[in-house]
Structure 1
Amino acid sequence: MSAPTDRKFLGLLPLPERRYLTDALRTETVGGMLLLLAAVAALIWANTPLSGSYETVRDFHFGPAALGLDLSVEHWAADGLLAVFFFVAGVELKRELVAGELRDPRAAALPVVAALCGMAAPALVYTLVNVLGDGSLDGWAVPTATDIAFALAVLAVIGTSLPSALRAFLLTLAVVDDLFAILIIAAFFTSDLDFAALGGAVAGLAVFWLLLRKGVRGWYVYVPLALVIWGLMYNSGVHATIAGVAMGLMLRCTTREGEEHSPGEHIEHLVRPFSAGVAVPLFALFSAGVSVSGKSLGDVFTQPVTLGVVLGLVVGKAVGIFGGTWLTARFTRAQLNPDLSWPDVFALATLAGIGFTVSLLIGELAFTDDPALTDQVKAAVLTGSLVAAVLAAILLKLRVRKYSALYANEERDEDEDGIPDIYEENSPEYHLRMAAIHERKAAEHRQRAQLAGASSEEGDRPA
């Protein structure tokens, strides 16, 4: 029996995976920019003379009280709009499991272990800081999440075009990260259960699955059913976003004969712009509005709870992801792409310390009975994410020329057939097309030279 061959880590993606990644990250990048704007708007709104109106709007209640849904604007954003975000996360996870990076258990080991270590290390850092500082351990899960949209917005701002393998690794990390964040929310932030409502939600999910299985189509069937499931899940005591991810995981994400895209990919393509461009920015607008002052910023670095969040995001995430990746690559004999180096992985791990959206949500759930501490934790999430973003930007900028060259090589399409040349360079047909293109260009060059020579001769003739 031959020894197992070494695998390449962060190598060239298959073309279909690269196209899906490009489309998904384009939407997330735009959403990330809107997320940044929403966060800045919330901070300005909450720290000006208009702060009273911010609190009035955020705390305004509406909804059918008879159904247990008379919620504030802030809760509608956190429990309702983020359910859409987690629905997209569920579809992403399902696709990764059946057609993406998590399909092959050996290939999935790296991002899964990296994501797990990238969640365990921040939790340990937070716990250590609060044990030594006699703080609260309730917020251990706050620094465990990664915000892919915010991270991509940082990349867009600093103008760094990462190679597709690095971007895919970041997205896969975020997808696995979202899965475990959902499990944490379900396991540790579930209030007293209403088993009747929970049973109704489970029955609704069963109907949802059965309709998908039977091939029933029509948004007018699924949207009302999804709203009923969401409402029952909310009233059950389980966080309502669990309904979103459960429905996302039920969608079929493999193509059948005659299908260009699977139903899951098609629905994700329709819903992702709303999630990235509306749902998440609105959540940020009504969650990131905390009062900022010199004293409050100073408290972030002196109070155990807030210091634990900052260090968890900045130090825990970077060390956890990098350490988990390096150890897994070391023991699975996965070779790093020779075009990249381990400092590139560390820079990406630092970028993953941006934990905006889900960290804010978990912060609200962890300290729901202490509004003052909730605001301090939110300030810590903002501070930690900002520090991680600045450090990552510096590290990535140091390699920007290398990334730009790799990205340009991946995008090169000299034969203009819509497929990057890097995927065709071993194809005889590609070489034939390139030879014909070079011959055509040479003929055009000779023709231009002849015309230039004839014009020159005419100019030299005596009048």
Structure 2
Amino acid sequence: MIQLRTAWNRHIRFLVSSPAGGALALLLASLAGFVMANGPWAGTYRAMVTLPMRLAMLGAHGPTTLNGWVSDGLMALFFLLVILEIRKEMADGHLSSPRLVALPLVGAVGGMIMPALIYLGVTWGHGPAMRGWAIPVATDAAFTLPIILALGARVSAAARTWLMTLAIFDDVLGIIVIALFYGSAPYWPAVLAAILVTAALVAASRAGTRVLRVYVPGWIILWGALLGSGLQPTLAGVIAGACLPATARSGHRSPSERVTRALAPFVTWLVLPLFGFMNVGVSLAGTRPGLLLAPVPLGIMLGLVVGKPVGVFGATLLAARLKLASLPATMPMGMLSGLCMLCGIGFTISLFIAGQAFAAPEMLMTAKAGIFAGSVLSALGGWVWLRFVLYPSRAGTMAGRP
């Protein structure tokens, strides 16, 4: 009995500390939202998502529902962690030299252009539907990482590094797209206030200030200014991550490392699952046959399932041919093809962009259906290819090389 309890505790600790655990929590929360939205608890689910949460001091621009606070408030913490992770990789990790950066960066750009073009081609002439062009451009690292870890020796270490770096670049490019194309008309006094606060944060960072209580009030003020400016308020997380000092003094952790250690469990186990729960609750009540063949969901599915792998694969080969970077010896074409299929798992960022692109409930519902279907097909396609199509002995041999 004691041995069983010890083994159980060991498994629980591993699940909590591993990327797979966070992805599982996000998946289960998302499935719970979908089930509630389509079951006898649909009314309760809608009441939770639209729970009034207005803060008078924020005025008309502030979030008014629980879902609004999650999407426009808590998700800023997610983007903060993304930027801190990128800065860490640029300092001493997989992005520490231009040649290490070039291959996944070019792949990420190609993996954004092709899905957007396919989506626009499918929705051309459908007015409001075209606003969702950016929905299929993202790759969700939270789901791709557990899949490739589960594949073990069938995916080489170099290939895992390439895919995770590409997913990080996808996140950054997605953040830029959100900031540039999915805000409202700017309110310039608030924009000016945001610029001044940003300048103050940069000055504090360059002065070597490492006291977090200096930065946190500035982040909150910056978020409020961006909220009032009409720009995407989650941009505050990006600016905060870029301004936070990343260098450590002797015997102390850097401010960015302290923030990462403090926020990572909160974001992994609460923010992202809550976001998935709030945004995947697509009610199928009253939907017609062939829903996924409507322009919006069809454009999203084709963008994720076809556009993503074609764009990433083509751009990566182009970068290698132009000698901008070299393909790792342990990532042959077959393995690259399977990894490019996994790039079609959009999910978190795609759902976020869909919420910014569409205000009409019916259009948003069809967009979420397309995201869900496209991400599942991409995950299954990549898994089957890497697990069953590639020769396991060949993949395992190559994975053992540096």
Give the aligned partner of residue 10 of structure 2.
Answer: none
Deviating more after overlay: 226-235 vs 351-360: 226-235
Structure 1 unaligned residues grouped into runs of 5+: 1-22, 411-421, 423-463
1:290 aligns with 2:310: no
Give the aligned partner of residue 186 of structure 1.
Answer: 179
Structure 2 Cα separation of the partners of residues 156 and 33 of structure 1:
13
1:386 aligns with 2:353: no
In the TM superposition, residue 73 of structure 1 has moved relative to its aligned partner by 0.8
Give the aligned partner of residue 352 of structure 2.
Answer: 361
1:64 aligns with 2:55: yes
Structure 1 Cα separation of the partners of residues 182 and 172 of structure 2:
15
- Of 316, 322, 330, 1:325 maps to 316
Structure 2 Cα separation of the partners of residues 91 and 210 of structure 1:
18
Structure 2 Cα separation of the partners of residues 163 and 91 of structure 1:
26
The number of residues matched between the two structures is 384
1:30-83 per-residue CA deviation (whole Å, 9 max, x = no partner) reads: 221111111111101111010001101100111422322352111111111110
Structure 1 Cα separation of the partners of residues 257 and 307 of structure 2:
33
Query: Partner letter of residue 56 of structure 1?
Result: A
- Of 131, 137, 143, 1:138 maps to 131
Q: Secondary structure at the match of 1:332?
A: coil
Deviating more after overlay: 239-248 vs 87-96: 87-96
Structure 2 Cα separation of the partners of residues 315 and 344 of structure 1:
17
1:231 aligns with 2:221: no
C-alpha contact (below 8 Å) 1:134/1:304 kept by paired residues: no
Given the superposition, is the C-alpha separation of residues 367 and 252 from structure 1 closer, same or farther in structure 2, using an over 3 Å criterion? Answer: same
C-alpha contact (below 8 Å) 2:103/2:326 kept by paired residues: no
> What is the identity percentage for the equivalent residue pairs of Structure 1 and Structure 2?
36
Give the aligned partner of residue 84 of structure 2.
Answer: 91
Q: Secondary structure at the match of 1:248?
A: helix
Given the superposition, is the C-alpha separation of residues 320 and 197 from structure 1 closer, same or farther in structure 2, using an over 3 Å criterion? Answer: same
C-alpha contact (below 8 Å) 1:32/1:151 kept by paired residues: no
Structure 2 Cα separation of the partners of residues 311 and 108 of structure 1:
28
- Of 173, 198, 210, 1:205 maps to 198
Structure 1 Cα separation of the partners of residues 273 and 51 of structure 2:
18
1:64-463 equivalences in 2 (<5 Å): 64-68=55-59, 69-131=62-124, 136-155=129-148, 162-254=155-247, 258=250, 262-292=254-284, 295=287, 298-300=290-292, 302-332=293-323, 334-368=325-359, 370-398=360-388, 399=390, 400-403=392-395, 409=400
In the TM superposition, residue 139 of structure 1 has moved relative to its aligned partner by 1.0
Q: Secondary structure at the match of 1:138?
A: helix
Structure 1 Cα separation of the partners of residues 117 and 239 of structure 2:
29
Structure 2 Cα separation of the partners of residues 122 and 151 of structure 1:
18
Structure 2 Cα separation of the partners of residues 192 and 61 of structure 1:
25
- Of 30, 40, 53, 1:49 maps to 40
C-alpha contact (below 8 Å) 1:28/1:148 kept by paired residues: no
C-alpha contact (below 8 Å) 2:159/2:328 kept by paired residues: no
In the TM superposition, residue 231 of structure 1 has moved relative to its aligned partner by 1.7
Please give the TM-score of this superposition, normalised by the length of structure 1: 0.76
Give the aligned partner of residue 37 of structure 1.
Answer: 28
Given the superposition, is the C-alpha separation of residues 260 and 111 from structure 1 closer, same or farther in structure 2, using an over 3 Å criterion? Answer: farther
Query: Partner letter of residue 104 of structure 1?
Result: S
Give the aligned partner of residue 4 of structure 2.
Answer: none
C-alpha contact (below 8 Å) 1:93/1:249 kept by paired residues: no
Query: Partner letter of residue 345 of structure 2?
Result: I
C-alpha contact (below 8 Å) 1:88/1:268 kept by paired residues: yes
Query: Partner letter of residue 38 of structure 1?
Result: A
C-alpha contact (below 8 Å) 1:112/1:173 kept by paired residues: yes
Deviating more after overlay: 202-211 vs 31-40: 202-211
Please give the TM-score of this superposition, normalised by the length of structure 2: 0.87
1:399-441 per-residue CA deviation (whole Å, 9 max, x = no partner) reads: 455555566x58xxxxxxxxxxx7xxxxxxxxxxxxxxxxxxx
